[in-house]
């Protein structure tokens, strides 16, 4: 099911990737919330992705997730343990979860990392002030691809 | 497909080792060796479907922090209560009156904190305790209003609260206060900011879980004002709301705003039945 329902739009997205970076508004999701095409048109770097994953200033994924092999002080447990994530999800699905997790998990608390509109009272980072023209997605396309590459290394089987 | 994904996640959550959880504890808070506080109890009827048991934030703190609140001599918040006791008896404003001139001893205020925020008929709106104190100051004393959640205001709130400790929170949510309460409820469930999180996402869906190093409580406000070890001062409810909204990468509301008054009424009503604890100690 997962791989047979490749839709026309997904094929279009794969083609668009040649043009380079996909803007947040142009990301194409499959009906299951996956994103087939790399947001940069290129594969990510797993090592850099691990940094984005753990950095409080960047992904801050550790606020909610734990990975057994990672030695991080105080990982949170609001989200599931990510050991073996790559056994459970394809690369496209992981990219979808990162881009906008709500397309995969309806109503989830996990933030959308590559989205710029549809927010209620968006702020200027953590200042409490209104967003201004510096407003950007939580992660840039390279960082998303790096984290996807990192998550793809989380295999147990 | 969505179903399959959700089922995988559900199975994972169940399989998570219990050691990773940090549930609220079952300790009992006895104040000054005399008053047994209600820190866990059945949720009020209006929370049906949301929460079965309501719990004070006290249960989510370390043993060391918990004991500080059990004895007035160890509670750093009590210093500010002392300050306010002096203010209670000090005349201020054009009328030459103090709080004591009209109300007598502060003991007469026992039980008041437990019922605020509350509808004020003259003003035609819901008043927080600070709004009421300021109304007394401006209308009866001819004194200037204190800034919202500013030092004198928060100290006075702590004094008044300290005389209601052990009494059950009991704010009215029907009658003329209803519309404000509904508005507060809407704010509580609205997902704000770039992180798109509501109060409920953290304090209803995830209390007991860890968000990084923070042990999420139900975000109850029966313990306010709160002395926080983190900033070594008394903290007002609405300033706390502001911090939590800011943490969703949202544009916040201000302490004293209509929105936060409504939110305070709603959140206080979620604690109907818990003992008033303020000034409490938190980290």
Q: Which two tokens stand for residue B121?
A: 């008929």
Segments in chain B below pLDDT 50: 1-21
Cα distance between residue B103 and residue B98, in whole Å: 9
pLDDT of residue A16: 45
pLDDT of residue A71: 84
Query: Considering chain B, what percentage of its residues have pLDDT values greater than 90?
Result: 92
Query: CA dihedral in degrees (B250, B251, B255, B261; nearest 10)?
Result: -70
Cα distance between residue B47 and residue B60, in whole Å: 21
Q: Which two tokens stand for residue B13?
A: 């959550």
Task: Please report the residues numbered 18 through 47 in chain B whose beta carbons come closer than 8 angstroms to any beta carbon of chain A.
Answer: 20-22
Nearest CA in chain B to A126: B249
A27 near A9, Cβ under 8 Å? Answer: no
pLDDT of residue A19: 57
Cα distance between residue A60 and residue A38, in whole Å: 22
Residue among A56, A66, A123 whose CB faces B249 most closely: A123
Kindly determine whether residue A130 and residue B13, on different chains, have CB atoms separated by under 8 Å: no
Query: Which DSSP helix (H) or strand (E) runs through A150?
Result: helix A141-151
Q: Which two tokens stand for residue A52?
A: 């984005």
Q: Which two tokens stand for residue B10?
A: 């559900």
Interchain CB contacts (distance < 8 Å): A and B: 109
Cα separations in angstroms, B151 against B28, B30, B148? 31, 28, 9
A45 near A149, Cβ under 8 Å? Answer: yes
Q: A109 CB near a chain B CB, below 8 Å? A: yes
pLDDT of residue A6: 37
Residue among B194, B205, B211 whose CB faces A123 most closely: B194
Task: Please report the residues numbered 155 through 174 in chain B whose beta carbons come closer than 8 angstroms to any beta carbon of chain A.
Answer: none
pLDDT of residue B20: 37
Kindly determine whether residue B20 and residue A66, on different chains, have CB atoms separated by under 8 Å: yes
| Dihedral sign (CA A102, A107, A110, A112) | positive
Kindly determine whether residue A129 and residue B251, on different chains, have CB atoms separated by under 8 Å: yes
Q: Which of A3, A80, A110, A112 to mutate to test the interface with B (most CBs of B within 10 A)?
A: A80
Task: Please report the residues numbered 244 through 263 in chain B whose beta carbons come closer than 8 angstroms to any beta carbon of chain A.
Answer: 245-252
Beta bridge partners of B36: B30
Q: From first to last of the 157 residues of chain A, give the pLDDT tens digit.
A: 333 333 333 444 444 444 589 999 999 999 999 999 999 999 999 999 999 999 999 999 999 999 998 888 889 999 999 999 999 999 999 999 999 999 999 999 999 999 999 999 999 999 999 999 999 999 999 999 999 999 999 999 7
- Chain A residues inside the 8 Å CB shell of B205: 109
């Amino acid at each position: 099911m997962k791989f047979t329902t490749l839709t026309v739009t997904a094929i279009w997205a794969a083609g668009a990737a040649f043009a380079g970076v996909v803007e947040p508004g142009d990301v194409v999701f499959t009906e299951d919330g996956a994103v087939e095409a790399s947001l940069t048109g290129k594969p990510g770097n797993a090592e850099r992705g691990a940094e984005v994953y753990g950095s409080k200033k960047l992904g801050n994924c550790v606020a909610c997730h734990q990975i057994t092999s990672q030695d991080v002080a105080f990982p949170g447990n609001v989200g599931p343990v990510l050991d073996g994530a790559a056994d459970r999800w394809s690369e496209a699905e992981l990219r979808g979860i990162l881009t906008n997790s709500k397309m995969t998990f309806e109503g989830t608390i996990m933030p959308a990392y590559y989205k710029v509109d549809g927010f209620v009272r968006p702020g200027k980072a953590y200042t409490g002030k209104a967003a201004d023209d510096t407003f950007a997605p939580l992660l840039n396309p390279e960082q998303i691809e790096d984290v996807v590459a990192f998550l793809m290394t989380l295999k147990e089987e | 497909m969505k179903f399959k994904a959700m089922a995988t996640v559900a199975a994972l959550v169940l399989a998570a080792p219990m050691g990773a959880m940090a549930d609220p504890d079952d300790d009992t808070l006895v104040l000054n060796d005399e008053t047994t506080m209600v820190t866990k109890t059945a949720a009020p009827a209006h929370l049906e479907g949301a929460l079965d048991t309501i719990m004070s934030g006290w249960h989510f703190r370390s043993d060391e922090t918990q004991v500080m609140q059990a004895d007035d001599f160890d509670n750093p918040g009590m210093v500010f209560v002392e300050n306010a006791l002096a203010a209670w008896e000090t005349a201020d404003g054009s009328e030459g009156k103090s709080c004591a001139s009209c109300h007598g001893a502060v003991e007469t205020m026992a039980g008041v904190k437990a019922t605020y925020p509350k509808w004020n008929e003259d003003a035609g709106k819901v008043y927080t305790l600070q709004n009421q104190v300021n109304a007394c100051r401006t209308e009866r004393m001819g004194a200037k209003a204190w800034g919202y959640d500013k030092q004198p205001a928060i100290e006075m709130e702590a004094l008044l609260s300290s005389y209601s400790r052990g009494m059950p929170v009991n704010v009215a949510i029907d009658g003329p206060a209803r519309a404000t309460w509904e508005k507060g409820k809407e704010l509580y469930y609205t997902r704000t900011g770039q992180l798109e999180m509501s109060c409920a996402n953290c304090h209803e869906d995830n209390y007991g879980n860890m968000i990084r190093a923070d042990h999420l409580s139900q975000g109850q406000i029966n313990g306010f004002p709160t002395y926080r070890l983190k900033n070594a001062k008394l903290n007002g409810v609405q300033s706390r709301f502001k911090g939590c909204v800011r943490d969703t990468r949202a544009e916040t509301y201000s302490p004293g705003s209509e929105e936060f008054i409504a939110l305070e009424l709603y959140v206080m009503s979620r604690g109907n039945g818990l003992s008033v604890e303020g000034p409490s100690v938190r980290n």
